[in-house]
Each structure stands twice: as C-alpha cells, then as structure tokens.
C-alpha cells in the first residue's frame, strides 16, 4: 500500500531564473537541468516560466526527501518528467535515488504551476 513518506514545496521568482540563464547561459542549464528537461522547457512558449517551475519542482523534491542540496548531489539527480495526460513525476538518480531508497520511497509525484512572476511546485514522496 502506498503511503506518504515526504512532502515538499517551493516557490521561485521567474525573473531570478531568467537572469541566471542570461548570465551563465548553457553552463547554468547543463548544471541544473537534464537534456530532456532542457528540451521540454525550450519547446514551450513560456520557456523561462517552465525552467523556473522545474527548478521549484527539484527544490520541492529535495524537501520531500528530507534533505537539501548537498555535496555529492547533482541538480540533475532529479529529473522532472511531464507525462502524457498531464501527470508530472520526478525520476531520482545518483545520491537522490540512494536517499529515497533508504527511506523506502518508490515514487515522487509532482505538481507545478506558474504565472509570469512566480513558479511553484509541490512534491509527494510515496512508498510502503
């Protein structure tokens, strides 16, 4: 039976992410986002807002795992996936996957929302 093992939420200003992209360009994108995430965001009409929403989702996942970003963990250890039908999930890799497995987390469900100014996300860590 699935039960809630962790909950996380985050909000970020879209302008902050826009400035990071403008200042650091591809190096920022490749450090924070997986190639799949970059592709998903860049194909959207409001790409900056999507990048901000994915950032917020990654932060929410860290919180749902009961941790913050730390040495040895990469931002790309969490990949946000928009699935057909509207479901959004986080795939855990590397240290994030190890932390999740140690806590019995089998999946992380995510919701994202944004407007021109802010992006927000919630993450539910589910397991047995």
Q: What is the domain-level CATH number for residue 114?
A: 3.90.470.20
- Cβ-defined contacts of 19-26 (< 8 Å, 24+): 21/48, 21/51
Structural domain boundaries, residue 55 = 3-127
* 101 token code pair: 């497995």
pLDDT band of 84, cuts 50, 70, 90: confident
The 10s digit of each residue's pLDDT in 27-67 is: 999 999 999 999 999 998 999 999 999 999 999 999 999 98
Whole-number pLDDT of residue 101: 95
Widest CA span of the chain, in angstroms?
Answer: 46
CA 35 vs CA 10, 38, 58, 65, 66: distances in Å: 23, 5, 15, 23, 26
- Could you tell me the pTM of the whole model? 0.93
Please report which residue ranges of the chain form alpha helices under DSSP H: 14-32, 35-42, 47-64, 94-102
Q: Is the pLDDT of residue 68 over 80?
A: no
Q: Give me the number of domains the chain comprises.
A: 1
């Amino acid at each position: 039976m699935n039960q809630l093992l962790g909950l996380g939420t985050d909000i970020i200003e879209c302008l902050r992410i826009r400035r990071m992209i403008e200042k650091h360009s591809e190096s920022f994108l490749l450090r924070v986002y997986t190639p799949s995430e970059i592709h998903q965001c860049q194909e959207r009409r409001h790409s900056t807002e999507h990048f901000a929403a994915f950032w917020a989702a990654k932060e929410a996942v860290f919180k749902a795992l009961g941790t913050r970003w730390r040495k040895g963990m990469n931002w790309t250890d969490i990949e946000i996936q928009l699935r057909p039908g509207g479901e959004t999930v986080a795939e855990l890799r590397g240290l994030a996957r190890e932390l999740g497995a140690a806590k019995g987390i089998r999946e992380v469900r995510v919701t994202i929302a944004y407007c021109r100014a802010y992006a927000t996300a919630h993450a539910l860590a589910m397991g047995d």
